[in-house]
Structure 1
């Protein structure tokens, strides 16, 4: 549905020259672009309790942030206001298609599709993001300035939920028109203001920090009741100072912790679960009559069914010596390596046919796993 053209660059050339290095203006990255939704549909999503949304206003340089859901849109004035809705790919199938051209970046790194609607002068002010983002211009025009990372730039809070940065020299200063795309690496200051009523689509990427990872891993170890090995010191010797915790003892403690990370099975199971967990709610609609494993096997074997993947689904896999770990929305499924071709189809494509996955019809583990995914509404006929 959407074909991405990165100027005259191949995807690998873009990764080599720009990814996490410097910003890039991509003129007509999406040719003949048509918006998958309009401002009214976006506003309708912002009225839903389960969908995260904000309205940012900047009247007379007085920045205010208001959190949804919204019952009305009086705050969305004719000028200097912006409506932002997170994870629209979880709720709007046509909008979710906009993520597909960017999947030359691995699935686990892609986060969600945020969509904004701004009236003239509307924006969120100059700010920094700690993750990569592609910003696609839809309806209207928007003026953007983007700078290079500068550790001396001062950040400040306009209010509790709006962090901005001081003014910066721009290396890109342009007006985006429908189909234009702006790539902004982490740490690059940027600001964009609508020239006229404008819709923008932001493809964001995950970049967990060490605190996030350690906290998640610790929770997983506790949940799995792993890490029960205790510290021991059978070769303990007397020492001159009773208060000394020796370098040798510190090293032993570090190795005790490292042993958990070196447990490949534990580590990969945790990694698959944590990187496939959605950050936002999903529009799950399980079937009224749940499938049995036998029904699913029959469905795969002798039908022309097409199985669609729910928008926002995070599907990744890892290979170990003995099996495949398929991780879908925070769940792990252990499958034989003979199912690798089918697992690739499920993680790489948004839809598959029964014929394509028929090679695994006799794999009980695959059929059981796919039955679970169908019954949860993550895949559907």
Structure 2
């Protein structure tokens, strides 16, 4: 992507300007970010998706008796009448299930794939919403159908309301208010409070981003290190031929502490270990993602495109795909990076790959991670 080209979806800003001025700093309202926008997912299709096993969905109702929330699958008969006001249902990860939604999400790849998460679609009847809240991540709120009134503010007080089934701010103070029409979009940085209320029947698409938590990231990396260490450090035992008799038996010997530190240091001596574990973690598919395996080896002579559910990234030495890592170099590395960036490579590029890289791609094709190129 050309990061110096002005984009309509960013209100005429270039991606570089947007990232410098707004990303994680301040909101941006863009009128007609997607001119003449017509959603490729309608209400009926969204209802069907909400009732599907393995698809994350929620129903939220603002009733006279307070807020109510129900987790999916949400069968159509379990939803309130569409004529009833003040309710909404939300479907997470729609990009994993619909090519058109996935294609729209790709327009936001001026942010690294390692940060881009998914597209959530929310449907609401008149007055429906989830109440004043904040997200811990960046989000673009694209109005797809109807109208929604947004109130936003830089709330310093993030105290949550007690006794509510989802996280709502107790002391929300709005600083700005906008009514978004189809094709309009609002960007909000993390922890920027907002409250969106449907004006009539409406649908909003939320392009969300992931922000790894320190504790979660440390846990995943350390678990990976532990697995690698158990295989790579051998089974040498601690030995202490110079250990003297002790009068305080409960005191841990200094030499044993030194031995433990040496073990950890040895595990970290592999310069590629941390990089591999990070790349594998960032490309690991979500638990509800699965691929259709091929019974026979697909023909790929016409070129290759990644499956919309596939996560593929790279660093200076490795290719990462769906939680696996591979060391690559030379022409193969360049072409596989092209596949990760463009999510598609031509027949000419495919034919110029080395035998090991071709074999890997065939394995990925059989696993359903990529397919023969079918785009015009």
TM over 0.5: yes
Secondary structure at the residue paired with 1:31? coil
2:106 aligned residue: 100
Distance 1:235 1:7 in 2: 73
Partner of 2:221: 217
Q: Of the candidates 28, 36, 45, which is equivalent to residue 49 of structure 2?
A: 45
Q: What secondary structure is seen at the aligned counterpart in 2 of 1:290?
A: coil
Preserved CA contact (<8 Å) 1:75 1:81: no
Which piece of structure 1 moves more, 230-239 or 202-211?
Answer: 230-239
**Relative CO higher for 1 or 2, CA cutoff 8 Å, sep ≥ 6?**
1
2:363 is aligned with 1:372: yes
State the superposition RMSD in angstroms: 2.9
Supply the distance in 2 between the matched residues of 1:283 and 1:171 (Cα, whole angstroms).
43
**1:28 and 2:32 correspond:** yes
Three-state SS of the structure 2 residue aligned to 1:30 is coil
Which residue of 2 is the match for residue 156 of structure 1? 161
Unpaired runs of 5+ in structure 2?
1-6
How has the CA–CA distance of structure 1 residues 27 and 233 changed in structure 2, closer, same or farther, with 3 Å as cutoff? Answer: farther
1:327 is the counterpart of 2:331: no
Selected match of 2:95 from 75, 89, 107 = 89
With structure 2 as the length reference, what TM-score do the two structures score?
0.86
**Contact 2:37–2:183 (CA under 8 A) maintained in structure 1:** yes
CA 1:117–1:355 in structure 2 vs 1: closer, same or farther (change >3 Å)? same
Give me the whole-angstrom Cα distance separating, in 2, the residues matched to 1:236 and 1:83: 67
Tell me the number of residue pairs that the alignment of Structure 1 and Structure 2 aligns: 361
Distance 1:54 1:222 in 2: 37
Q: Which moved more, 1:125-134 or 1:69-78?
A: 69-78
Q: Give the alignment's TM-score, normalised by structure 1.
A: 0.84
- In structure 2, the partner of 1:357 is 350
Q: In the alignment, what sits opposite 1:307?
A: 304
Matches within 5 A, 1:50-61: 50-60=54-64
DSSP 3-state at the match of 1:366:
helix
User: CA separation in 2, counterparts of 1:349 and 1:364?
Assistant: 22
Distance 1:190 1:365, change over 3 A: same
1:286 aligns with 2:293: yes
Superposed CA offset, 1:54-112 (max 9, x none): 11111126111111112224433421111111111111111111111100001111111
Per-residue CA distance 1:181-218 (angstroms, 9 max, x = gap)? 11111111111111111111111111111111111012
State the partner residue of 1:273.
280
